[in-house]
Structure 1
Amino acid sequence: MVHSPNLTQAEIGVIQLLLHGMSNKAMAETLMVSIRTIESHISHALMKTGCRSRLELVLWWLKQTPEPHGQPIGKLPPMPA
């Protein structure tokens, strides 16, 4: 389990989508929420973890989680070629 600094399930879900390299727009479409909601989840996760960037947040997550990283989110859209 993640040693999270009180991350919400929504924040964890967005971090897991960041692992797949998804843009804010793609995450919003996948989760059926607004882009602003995604931005808020990322911003809150950054503040709670002390990370300064999306990359640093992903690296923090990878250090905190056992293999495999996170829980499956379901079928993700294919990555662009």
Structure 2
Amino acid sequence: MKNKEILKKIYYENRAINRNIQCLANISLIGLLARSAKKAKESDDEQGKNLAKAGLLLVVISEALIMISDILDHRKMKIEEKIEKCE
């Protein structure tokens, strides 16, 4: 393997690891926000409910962006493999 190939592989693996860590953080945020939403519902706290909903919406947006990033990296990697085969 050439150094350039090794560096590309390391780069893509690091990006995948970072996405996995972000997903794990989002899962823990979902748990915290769900717990706070439950407490807000029990105490009839409208601000707490709205805050929990906004937080969950941001987690959904974050997960969507992570998924799009993953798809784009996968496509980029496939294109690079096709280019290397043609050379």
Establish whether TM, by shorter chain, passes 0.5. no
Structure possessing the higher radius of gyration over alpha carbons: 2
Larger helix share, 1 or 2: 2
TM-score (norm 2): 0.30
Of structures 1 and 2, the one with the larger relative CO (CA 8 A, separation 6+) is 1
> What TM-score do you get using the length of structure 1 for normalisation?
0.31
